[in-house]
Structure 1
Amino acid sequence: MEWSQGYFTELGYTFGYYREMSPAILRLSCLSRGVEAGIRHAPSYLELGFGQGVSINIHAAGSSGSYWGCDFNPAQTVEARRLSEASGANVQLFDESFEEFAARSDLPQFDIIALHGVWSWVSAANRATIKQIIRQRLRPGGIVYVSYNCLPGWAPIVPIRHLMSLYQRQSGDMSGPSQVIAAALQFTKEIADAGSMFFRQNPFAGYHLGDLVRQDPNYIAHEYLNADWHVDHFSDVAESLAEAKLTFVGSARPLDDIDAVQLSPEGQAHIAKFSNPLMRETVRDHWVNRRFRSDIFVKGPRKLSNVEQREAWHSQAFVLSVHADEIPKKITSGRGDIELPAALYDPLIEVFAADLMQIKRVGDLARHPKLSGIEFPQLIESLVVLTGAGFLQPAEEPTDRVLTQCRALNRYIVQRARVSTDLCYLVSPLTGCAIGVPHMIQLFIQALDKGLESADELASHVWGFLEEVGERLVKQGTKIESDSENIDELRILAERFLRTGLPTLQSLRIVEGPASTRINGLGMAK
């Protein structure tokens, strides 16, 4: 068999980042479930199927640990190694099959083994090899993160994937991969438009097909056109991984485990009937119609006592990851939009916003006079909700090594923005995670590096770049043609960046600040 083993390799995987794979979020998720997170301060970490290497390199830069990765696509390994060379972090990346990687004699015992989506896209033989790696190389107490497509949410979409994959295999279309994807979508859409009973009786399938047309072709290729593709119930995955001595702990997405956020009162009452985790999670998936899971399994989990859990929470620190003014009053959850009670969340956000440059420990928050009316369990749940919604991040003071690695990687990414728009994340040394930093904001940071500070200066710098590459801004779906309108729009964007975006980046130590003491935008001497 060819090296790709049926995996679609003609288009590279997307440059996505997944913070739930980070040691910080995995620790928090375990703590939220009352389980000891056996992750050392400098963890030994393995990612199986690292794609373009965005997540593994960001987490390595934000950590003092050692990071190993395996992805059999050599083109993606080349891209991932560029990031690791830029940061100087302890990262070892290999373009090997899982079978070849499992046979290596130099592998350590890992604290964390992570795989994003891979479980859904590989053969039964590769799944067996993954379990072999876990059995042999995950130390007792270690964590496995595995995300995968699941039922029942995927049920009406499975036939769409089958039609597209069938077209790719049988049509004989010899055009390029993007053209094959477009043709496969058109083939499937023609069946839907012709009035097929399946699409008439499953309207969600039609809605999903309409969304696919707007998706990145690279995503479609890897999600729909691999030779191996599986959707499982949670219980099937849990029972399979139990063969590797793994026990399910909870979701790596903090909001997923909060019943009050995800379920209606009727759903909460129904779920409360089940204590068996396989039954509870499977029934819960039907209540929210889940189609993707991000699960944490532990090899020998140890439950924390109430005292240990409270002490761990008291020492846990957080930092705002968005400007306080941009935190909405409602968040989207499995039960739709839910309101964040103002009496609970407003004072909490105000305390975080009062001193952006200081991380906040839960013990200090619990004693803060403005939060005296909040019971400790309420405080914890509110922090988890804000973290799950992306407004807070777990944080700790970084070492000099982590600061150096993050600055180096961020500088590389920002400089790369002059030739590419596909990598839209920068890493915070406080959190060990990334936040989304769009291409335009990276160009503004370039301007800061040049000593420019006002909105006019930032707008002028970016306009010079856009003119150089022959690009124009797009507003409400329409390209802005005139020079003056482009500059006016850039000035508006720059003013917003200086008002809300820059203070947040400074508080996360992604950009050094304030401006009067900043050597340059990324805190590195020129």
Structure 2
Amino acid sequence: MSEWTDGYVADIGYTFGYYTELNPLRVRLAFLHSGLAVPEIRTACELGFGQGVSVNMHAAASTAQWHGNDFNPSQAAFAQELASVAGTNAQLTDASFAELVARDDLPKFDYIGLHGIWSWINDENRATIVEFIRRQLNVGGVVYISYNTLPGWAPFAPVRHLLNLHAETMGSAGQGSVGRIDSAFAFADKLLAANPLYARANPNIVERFKGVKGHTKNYVAHEYFNRDWQPMHFSTLAEKLESVKLQFACSAHYLDHVEPIHFTPEQSQLLAEIKDVTLKETARDFLGSQYFRRDYWAKGVRRLDPLERWEALRAQKVVLIKYRPEVALKVSGALGEVALNEAVYNPLLDLLADHKPRSLGQIEQAMKEFNIGMAQVLQAVMLLAGAGHLQSIQEADAIAKVRKNTDKFNLELMKRARGNGDVQHLVSPLTGGGVPVQRFYQLFLMAIGQGKRQPAEWAQFVWQVLASQGQSIVKEGKTLATPEENQQELLVQATDFEKKHLPILKALMIAA
């Protein structure tokens, strides 16, 4: 493998996914829920941005000046192309971490985000990232970092080791990453079929391996087949980040903020008795067998007094981004699936069903007739946002400033959707980030933008796009054979889109 890759998979690109936790706007609700002062984010940077979907969406939908870096030149080129289309002036480069930290022309950042990359690089590069944070993060600034965590990864780590060892020793350079992955999977299947004692001692291993095989090869290559791969205890990361004056602020995963879905009363009481933050978080991971953490760290954590906190929370605005009848009243935590209280969630969701932004204070006032207080409103918002049903809203002046960029960026993604479904999100100026919008829905929006008003016209437009490329729809595992079958299915989807999704996309300022 060539030297510039540093053992990182480079012959197969990373996924085109969007990662909402990288959206700096999410910091506000998490910090306020934890009683922390929220920093103003004027400059931001994403390290290891992959294909650049997230960094470009956040650059298009925020007023912050964005920088980003990914060592893979192919991915950086794609990201730069997207940035050029949106006109965001995002500065996206393909430097190594060592080259990046040596630069003297970068601004100080209020926000630095890393998704996953921490777990896939060697100790030298981790140290370089820590040095970058020391040099480039402003006082009061926030670092978002997600990483594979112990003890949750401990049982599966030997399987990952076997997969990677097989790829290194039995694979050939000519196979490429995909060929080596397929061979390693076949080997692991045979090994697990032999009923090894390790699998019997760790009965979840087989099901977890099946889950791994269900991911795309792009994801699997980067998650499991890099030379360097290190899940880490929270305490180990804390030691590294505290050396550059970072303090743990709170989890970036909203569901983590609601303890009853993760811990029994006895477990919560045990955690409450632990005063040391590092020990407490490490114990949380042990109780919940945590295998992936998403955390905020800050260079100077300032606590709000109760009055400041509640005033700021009541001013925070949210919007429902899902079709109300399809919002399931359940969430999953460490304790399993938890049913939500219908007496609380139904009236709250009914209020938000028109997809108009409302502040938590407005929700609180509306919920008084149902005897639902502010504490219940806040918990409901955290759970619904954590489940992906709600998103926070940015300030009105920011929305107005970014609308032109988000429109251009979304149009470019719609054009790309004619050829593939790689990017399954569009960006909202309202929420400052991405919203799930699958390929055909993007093409329906493109048809609307061309003046087509009826679902039948949208369906016909999409069918013309597909037919011109010899593509057909796959429904329930079966490829639809005739033009009539394809057009009928598209009409069904277009009609469903008009009823359920178009009103939401209009409210989010994605559709005109």
TM over 0.5: yes
Measured in 2, the distance between the counterparts of 1:205 and 1:406 equals: 43
Measured in 2, the distance between the counterparts of 1:369 and 1:439 equals: 37
Report how far residue 365 of structure 1 moved.
2.1
**Structure 2: segments with no counterpart, 5+ residues:** none
Match of 1:423 in 2: 423
Secondary structure of 2:353's counterpart equals helix
Q: Which residues in structure 2 correspond to 1:272-291 (within 5 Å)? A: 272-291=272-291
Match of 1:519 in 2: none
Q: Which residues in structure 2 correspond to 1:405-420 (within 5 Å)? A: 405-420=405-420
Q: Which residues in structure 2 correspond to 1:33-182 (within 5 Å)? A: 33-40=34-41, 43-173=42-172, 174-182=174-182
Match of 1:522 in 2: none
Measured in 1, the distance between the counterparts of 2:120 and 2:211 equals: 21
Contact 1:45 1:111 in 2 (8 A): yes
Report how far residue 211 of structure 1 moved.
1.9
Contact 2:72 2:94 in 1 (8 A): yes
User: Is 1:22 equivalent to 2:23 in the alignment?
Assistant: yes
Residue type of the alignment partner of 1:166: L
Contact 1:321 1:392 in 2 (8 A): yes
| Structure 2 residue corresponding to 1:388, chosen from 363, 367, 386 | 386
> Deviation string for 1:145-179 (max 9, x for gaps)?
01000011111111111111111211142323211
Report how far residue 141 of structure 1 moved.
0.7
Report how far residue 271 of structure 1 moved.
2.5
Measured in 2, the distance between the counterparts of 1:51 and 1:66 equals: 19
Contact 1:39 1:112 in 2 (8 A): no
Contact 2:367 2:373 in 1 (8 A): no
Contact 2:60 2:405 in 1 (8 A): yes
Match of 2:443 in 1: 443
Report how far residue 507 of structure 1 moved.
0.7
Contact 1:249 1:297 in 2 (8 A): yes
Residue type of the alignment partner of 2:472: R
Match of 2:494 in 1: 494
Q: Which residues in structure 2 correspond to 1:322-471 (within 5 Å)? A: 322-354=322-354, 356=355, 358-368=356-366, 373-396=371-394, 397=396, 398-471=398-471
> Deviation string for 1:78-99 (max 9, x for gaps)?
0111111111113101110111
Secondary structure of 1:175's counterpart equals helix
Residue type of the alignment partner of 1:476: E
Measured in 2, the distance between the counterparts of 1:307 and 1:410 equals: 40
Measured in 2, the distance between the counterparts of 1:465 and 1:94 equals: 34
Contact 2:45 2:112 in 1 (8 A): yes
Match of 2:203 in 1: 203
Measured in 1, the distance between the counterparts of 2:367 and 2:375 equals: 17
Measured in 2, the distance between the counterparts of 1:383 and 1:287 equals: 25
Comparing 91-100 and 365-374, the one that deviates more: 365-374
Secondary structure of 1:89's counterpart equals coil
> Deviation string for 1:321-370 (max 9, x for gaps)?
1121221122222222211211111111111124x3x3111222222266
Measured in 2, the distance between the counterparts of 1:251 and 1:206 equals: 30
Report how far residue 269 of structure 1 moved.
3.1
Match of 1:6 in 2: 7
**Structure 1: segments with no counterpart, 5+ residues:** 513-526
Measured in 2, the distance between the counterparts of 1:311 and 1:82 equals: 42
Residue type of the alignment partner of 1:28: L
Q: How many residues align?
A: 508
* Aligned-residue CA RMSD (Å): 1.5
Report how far residue 372 of structure 1 moved.
5.7
Report how far residue 221 of structure 1 moved.
0.8
Report how far residue 289 of structure 1 moved.
1.5
Residue type of the alignment partner of 2:30: S
Measured in 2, the distance between the counterparts of 1:472 and 1:265 equals: 53
Report how far residue 480 of structure 1 moved.
2.0
Report how far residue 34 of structure 1 moved.
0.7
Contact 1:254 1:385 in 2 (8 A): yes
Residue type of the alignment partner of 2:506: Q
> Deviation string for 1:80-134 (max 9, x for gaps)?
1111111111310111011111111111111001111111011111111111111
Secondary structure of 2:468's counterpart equals helix
Secondary structure of 1:176's counterpart equals helix
Residue type of the alignment partner of 1:240: K
Residue type of the alignment partner of 2:449: D
Contact 2:250 2:295 in 1 (8 A): yes
Secondary structure of 1:379's counterpart equals helix
User: Is 1:300 equivalent to 2:300 in the alignment?
Assistant: yes
Residue type of the alignment partner of 1:336: G
Secondary structure of 1:244's counterpart equals coil
Secondary structure of 2:119's counterpart equals helix
Using structure 1 for the length normalisation, give the TM-score: 0.94
Secondary structure of 2:25's counterpart equals helix
Contact 2:149 2:231 in 1 (8 A): yes
**Structure 1 pair 440/371, CA: closer, same or farther in 2 (3 Å)?**
farther
Report how far residue 371 of structure 1 moved.
5.1
Report how far residue 225 of structure 1 moved.
1.3
Residue type of the alignment partner of 2:345: Y
Measured in 1, the distance between the counterparts of 2:213 and 2:313 equals: 45
**Structure 1 pair 438/399, CA: closer, same or farther in 2 (3 Å)?**
closer
Measured in 2, the distance between the counterparts of 1:329 and 1:293 equals: 24
Q: Tell me the percent identity.
A: 39
Measured in 1, the distance between the counterparts of 2:315 and 2:249 equals: 22
Residue type of the alignment partner of 1:168: A
Contact 1:23 1:39 in 2 (8 A): no
Measured in 1, the distance between the counterparts of 2:476 and 2:271 equals: 43
Contact 1:347 1:370 in 2 (8 A): no
Contact 2:48 2:114 in 1 (8 A): yes
Report how far residue 25 of structure 1 moved.
0.6
Measured in 1, the distance between the counterparts of 2:243 and 2:23 equals: 25
Q: Which residues in structure 2 correspond to 1:310-325 (within 5 Å)? A: 310-325=310-325
Measured in 2, the distance between the counterparts of 1:339 and 1:194 equals: 39
Contact 2:321 2:390 in 1 (8 A): yes
**Structure 1 pair 371/483, CA: closer, same or farther in 2 (3 Å)?**
farther
Measured in 2, the distance between the counterparts of 1:489 and 1:271 equals: 52
Report how far residue 31 of structure 1 moved.
1.1
Measured in 2, the distance between the counterparts of 1:213 and 1:380 equals: 38
**Structure 1 pair 77/195, CA: closer, same or farther in 2 (3 Å)?**
same
Secondary structure of 2:311's counterpart equals helix
Match of 1:515 in 2: none
Secondary structure of 2:453's counterpart equals coil
Residue type of the alignment partner of 2:227: A
Residue type of the alignment partner of 2:217: P
**Structure 1 pair 345/369, CA: closer, same or farther in 2 (3 Å)?**
closer
Using structure 2 for the length normalisation, give the TM-score: 0.96
